[in-house]
């Protein structure tokens, strides 16, 4: 849920445009909305948690995307695939960032 919330916060405009496109093109949205889907992916991929989910849940995400491509007019049939991906995504917890030793500056070079 956190990743979805991050994506919604970080990429809300892109998600809204994509949703409108899909709703307006029920039979042809995979073709008509392709660029908008790519813009969401680019936007979301900028966030570390989203990158981690794409990496950790790539199998279930791939299955969901294949289902959508195979059933362009019947996306509701992909519900089980969507549920599997969401279940995986919800189980991903942000990995701790490497800690910076006291007195060191993040991104600095040794010897300063």
Rounded to whole angstroms, the Cα distance separating 52 from 58 reads 10
25 located within any domain:
yes
44 located within any domain:
yes
103 located within any domain:
no
98 located within any domain:
no
7 located within any domain:
yes
11 located within any domain:
yes
In this predicted structure, the answer to whether residue 79 has a pLDDT above a threshold of 70 is yes
Are 77 and 71 in contact by the 8 Å Cβ rule? The answer is yes
pLDDT tens digits, 6-63: 677 778 888 889 889 988 988 888 889 999 989 888 887 888 887 888 889 999 989 9
The pTM of the full predicted model, rounded to 2 decimals, is 0.54
State CA 79 to chain mean position distance: 17
How many Cβ atoms sit within 10 Å of the Cβ of residue 39? Answer: 17
What is the span of the domain harbouring residue 28? 2-91
Average pLDDT over residues 77-103: 74
* Per-residue tokens: 16: 């809204």
User: To 10 degrees, the CA torsion angle through 92, 79, 38, 40?
Assistant: -60
pLDDT tier at 3 (50, 70, 90 boundaries)?
low
């Amino acid at each position: 849920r956190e990743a979805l919330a991050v994506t919604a916060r970080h990429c809300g405009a892109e998600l809204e445009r994509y949703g409108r496109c899909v709703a307006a093109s029920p039979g042809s949205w995979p073709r008509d909305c392709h660029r908008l889907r790519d813009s969401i992916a680019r936007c979301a991929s900028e966030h570390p948690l989203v990158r981690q989910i794409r990496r950790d849940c790539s199998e279930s995400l791939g299955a969901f995307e294949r289902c959508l491509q195979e059933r362009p007019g019947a996306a509701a049939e992909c519900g089980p695939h969507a549920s599997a991906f969401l279940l995986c995504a919800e189980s991903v917890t942000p990995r701790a960032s490497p800690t910076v030793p006291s007195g060191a500056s993040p991104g600095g070079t040794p010897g300063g």
